[in-house]
Structure 1
Amino acid sequence: MSEATETEKPASSSNTTLTNAQKARIERNRAKAENLRQAKLVTHPYKIGPNGGPEGNSVIKVQGTKYIDSGGGFLLEQPVLPAPGQKSNAEAETPVVIDDGINIPVKYEECLDCGDQFADSYLFNNFGHSVCDKCRDTEDRHSLITRTEAKAEYLLKDCDFDKREPPLRYISRKNPHNVRWGEMKLYLHLQVLKRAMDVWGSEEELMRQHESREDKREVGKARKYNKQMKQLRMEVRSSVYTKKTTELHVHEFGPETYNEEEDNYTHACVSCPYTETFEKM
Structure 2
Amino acid sequence: MSSSGPSLPPSQARLAALNRLKAKEKFAGAGKTTTGAVNAVAGSSRNGAAQKQQGQGGQSTQYVNKQSAQPASARNMVEQQKQQEEPLKRNPGLGKYFEYDLSKLHNSRGGFLTEDDADDGRIKSVIEMAREKERQRQMIMEGEEPAIFADTSPRCRECRSLEIDNQFQKVFSINVCKSCKEKFPEKYSLLTKTECKEDYLLTDPELRDEDLLPHLLRPNPYASTYSNMMLFMREQVEKVAWDKWGGEEGLDKEWERREKFKKRKREEKFEQGLRDLRKRTRNNQYQRRQEAQHVHEFEAVEEATDEDGGTRSIQRCFGCGAEQEVEVW
Answer 1 or 2: which has greater helix percent.
2
TM-score bin (small chain): 0.3 to 0.5
TM superposition score normalised by structure 1: 0.45
Answer 1 or 2: which has greater strand percent.
1
